[in-house]
Amino acid sequence: MNDLSSAPAPEGEAPRKQRKPDWIRVKAPVSKGYQETRKLMRDLKLNTVCEEAACPNIGECWDKKHATVMILGDVCTRACAFCNVKTGMPRMVDPMEPENVAIAAGQMGLEHIVITSVDRDDLPDGGAGQFVKVIKALRRETPNTTIEILTPDFRGKMRAAVEAICEAGPDVYNHNLETVPRLYPTIRPGARYYASLRLLEEVKSHDPIIFTKSGIMLGLGEQRLEVHQVMDDMRSADVDFITMGQYLQPTPRHAKVEDFVTPKAFAAYGSIARAKGFLQVASSPLTRSSYHAGDDFAQMKAAREERLAKERARANG
């Protein structure tokens, strides 16, 4: 385990954030491309998980005109211990949001877009209908853009939500397991591990062509064999793509980092995941669900085509 020590805060002051090792530090975003992306998001009144979740890769991604749009507002109905998104009662759904997402994709010239959302347990469909509208708007306005969605678990409404979204035809369906089952009560108390697994299974059951993707954070106190078991559970659900990245504490109020996992350990996890049969694996301290998503999608698509070609060759003797 790596040293997570930090100087104690003087009495009466808020606790200080933990020091990060050199391999996890990134430069503050200052580029022209970053500023242009930020202005576009403000002008179109769009939220991004890049900002709301305080992603460390925001400078690099926004400079390249890559952004993960967060629909259904910026207030979540849940309060996960790892997440920096605001919690409370959300505002009404913006009817212009699907069109504005499509406009942003067109102006940024996106080849691949990632759409995520807050949890909206207050809505009858959990927000699934807005995902459908956004996908349809993108297909209409930017037909060459491939679409990746990262959805919540649609607690109590999962089957109907997944069916509606799959019918709209995203290219990649991502839903993150986030951590190992043992840590759910403290890290993800509003969700259930096996319900999330069932959601991923449901996507493949409804449309086997849609790529499925899921990710976990490391450094929350999970054990190595627990991570291996999560990989096996994902493969049992026929998940195509696994992402593994370092958990970073957004504020001192959030769950503490128990360990800064080394780049070497991440590489070892990645090798094990590849051996288990995932089409695509992203495993590094700075890996996030949407980091390099476009490049990863292209590689995953090529990997599937190569696997299918080998299967046809074997079948033909």
- Domain containing 239 equals 28-316
Contact 187, 226 (CB under 8 A): no
238 or 298, greater pLDDT: 238
- Is 12 part of any domain? no
C-alpha–C-alpha distance, residues 29 and 50, integer Å: 12
Residue 2 lies in a domain: no
Residue 126 domain-assigned? yes
Is there a domain that residue 147 lies in?
yes
**Cα gap 151→137, rounded to integer Å:** 17
Binned at pLDDT 50, 70 and 90, residue 5 comes out as very low
Report if residue 131 sits inside a domain: yes
What pLDDT score was predicted for residue 178?
Answer: 95
What is the pLDDT averaged over residues 212-222?
97
Quick one: average pLDDT of 116-129?
A: 94
Strand partners, 147: 113
The number of folded domains in the chain is: 1
Contacts of 256 (CB under 8 A, 6+ apart): 4, 18, 249
Indicate the average pLDDT of the chain.
86
Summarize the annotated binding site for [4Fe-4S] cluster as residue ranges: 50, 55, 61, 76, 80, 83, 290
Q: Quickly state the pLDDT bin for 316 (edges 50, 70, 90).
A: confident
What's the pLDDT band for 34 if we cut at 50, 70, 90? Answer: low
pLDDT above 50: residue 243: yes
User: Is 19 contained in some domain?
Assistant: no
Q: Answer whether residue 107 is part of any domain.
A: yes
Q: Please state, in angstroms and rounded to a whole number, the distance separating the CA atoms of residues 218 and 261.
A: 7
Binding-site residues sit at: 50, 55, 61, 76, 80, 83, 290
- pLDDT over threshold 60, residue 219: yes
Asked if residue 95 has pLDDT above 80, the reply is yes
Q: Domain for residue 10, yes or no?
A: no
Give the CATH number for residue 98. 3.20.20.70
